[in-house]
Protein backbone atom coordinates (compact mmCIF):
# COMPACT_ATOMS: atom_id res chain seq x y z
CA UNK A 1 0.00 0.00 0.00
CA UNK A 2 1.50 3.35 -1.01
CA UNK A 3 1.08 6.24 1.41
CA UNK A 4 2.21 9.86 1.31
CA UNK A 5 3.99 10.35 4.62
CA UNK A 6 5.56 13.57 5.86
CA UNK A 7 8.88 11.83 5.14
CA UNK A 8 7.83 11.13 1.52
CA UNK A 9 5.87 8.49 -0.38
CA UNK A 10 6.50 5.01 0.96
CA UNK A 11 5.29 1.65 -0.30
CA UNK A 12 4.17 0.09 2.99
CA UNK A 13 4.48 -3.63 3.55
CA UNK A 14 1.66 -4.16 6.06
CA UNK A 15 3.58 -7.09 7.55
CA UNK A 16 6.13 -4.58 8.83
CA UNK A 17 3.62 -2.48 10.77
CA UNK A 18 4.20 -3.07 14.48
CA UNK A 19 1.61 -0.53 15.61
CA UNK A 20 -0.01 2.72 14.58
CA UNK A 21 -0.85 5.51 16.97
CA UNK A 22 -2.85 8.68 16.74
CA UNK A 23 -0.98 11.53 18.42
CA UNK A 24 -1.85 15.23 18.26
CA UNK A 25 -3.83 15.13 15.00
CA UNK A 26 -1.34 12.97 13.17
CA UNK A 27 -0.81 9.25 12.72
CA UNK A 28 2.51 7.68 13.60
CA UNK A 29 3.39 4.36 11.95
CA UNK A 30 5.83 2.36 14.09
CA UNK A 31 7.32 -0.09 11.62
CA UNK A 32 10.12 -2.61 11.66
CA UNK A 33 12.16 -0.31 9.38
CA UNK A 34 11.42 3.04 11.04
CA UNK A 35 8.82 5.58 12.08
CA UNK A 36 6.64 7.49 9.61
CA UNK A 37 4.11 10.31 10.10
CA UNK A 38 0.95 11.08 8.15
CA UNK A 39 -2.04 13.37 8.55
CA UNK A 40 -5.14 11.16 8.13
CA UNK A 41 -7.90 10.02 10.46
CA UNK A 42 -7.02 6.76 12.24
CA UNK A 43 -10.34 5.28 11.11
CA UNK A 44 -9.34 5.80 7.48
CA UNK A 45 -6.07 3.93 8.07
CA UNK A 46 -7.96 1.20 9.94
CA UNK A 47 -10.24 0.68 6.92
CA UNK A 48 -7.18 0.02 4.72
CA UNK A 49 -5.85 -2.79 6.94
CA UNK A 50 -6.75 -6.47 7.07
CA UNK A 51 -8.94 -7.34 10.04
CA UNK A 52 -7.14 -10.71 10.18
CA UNK A 53 -3.79 -9.10 10.96
CA UNK A 54 -4.67 -5.91 12.86
CA UNK A 55 -6.92 -4.83 15.71
CA UNK A 56 -7.78 -1.45 17.13
CA UNK A 57 -7.06 -1.85 20.84
CA UNK A 58 -7.76 1.73 21.89
CA UNK A 59 -9.12 4.92 20.34
CA UNK A 60 -5.49 5.88 19.65
CA UNK A 61 -3.86 2.54 18.73
CA UNK A 62 -4.00 -0.17 16.07
CA UNK A 63 -1.60 -3.06 16.53
CA UNK A 64 -0.16 -5.72 14.25
CA UNK A 65 -1.24 -8.98 15.89
CA UNK A 66 1.98 -10.75 14.87
CA UNK A 67 4.01 -8.44 17.13
CA UNK A 68 2.16 -9.10 20.40
CA UNK A 69 4.25 -10.63 23.16
CA UNK A 70 1.67 -10.55 26.00
CA UNK A 71 -1.60 -9.04 27.17
CA UNK A 72 -2.30 -8.78 30.88
CA UNK A 73 -3.75 -6.34 33.38
CA UNK A 74 -5.20 -3.99 30.73
CA UNK A 75 -1.77 -3.65 29.14
CA UNK A 76 -0.46 -5.10 25.90
CA UNK A 77 3.26 -5.70 25.43
CA UNK A 78 4.73 -5.82 21.95
CA UNK A 79 7.82 -7.73 20.80
CA UNK A 80 9.90 -4.54 20.90
CA UNK A 81 8.99 -3.97 24.57
CA UNK A 82 6.44 -1.21 23.92
CA UNK A 83 3.57 -1.33 26.42
CA UNK A 84 0.18 0.01 25.29
CA UNK A 85 -3.03 0.50 27.28
CA UNK A 86 -6.10 -1.64 26.60
CA UNK A 87 -9.32 -0.10 27.94
CA UNK A 88 -11.48 -2.28 30.17
CA UNK A 89 -14.30 -2.16 27.60
CA UNK A 90 -12.10 -3.67 24.86
CA UNK A 91 -9.94 -5.98 26.95
CA UNK A 92 -12.00 -9.16 26.50
CA UNK A 93 -12.23 -8.72 22.72
CA UNK A 94 -8.52 -7.87 22.37
CA UNK A 95 -7.42 -10.84 24.47
CA UNK A 96 -9.73 -13.17 22.52
CA UNK A 97 -8.33 -11.98 19.17
CA UNK A 98 -4.76 -12.47 20.37
CA UNK A 99 -5.54 -16.01 21.55
CA UNK A 100 -7.15 -16.81 18.16
CA UNK A 101 -4.17 -15.32 16.30
CA UNK A 102 -1.73 -17.32 18.42
CA UNK A 103 -3.68 -20.54 17.73
CA UNK A 104 -3.78 -19.73 14.00
CA UNK A 105 -0.02 -19.05 13.93
CA UNK A 106 0.78 -22.28 15.79
CA UNK A 107 -1.41 -24.34 13.44
CA UNK A 108 0.51 -22.94 10.45
CA UNK A 109 3.92 -24.02 11.75
pLDDT, average across residues 57-79: 95
Question: Considering the chain, what percentage of its residues have pLDDT values greater than 70?
Answer: 94
Where would I find the beta strands (DSSP E) of the chain? 2-5, 8-11, 17-23, 26-31, 34-38, 54-58, 61-64, 68-72, 75-78, 83-85
pLDDT in tens, 4-30: 899 989 888 999 999 999 998 899 999
What pLDDT, on the 0 to 100 scale, is given for residue 105? 60
Q: What is the pTM of this model?
A: 0.89
Task: Look at residue 75 in the predicted model and tell me its pLDDT.
Answer: 95
Instruction: Spell out the domains of the chain, with CATH numbers in brackets.
Output: 2-108 (2.40.50.1020)
pLDDT at 58: 95
Amino acid sequence: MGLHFVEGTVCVNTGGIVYIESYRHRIVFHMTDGIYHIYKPLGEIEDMLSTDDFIRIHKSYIIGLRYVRAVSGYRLTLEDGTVLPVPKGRYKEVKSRIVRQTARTISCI
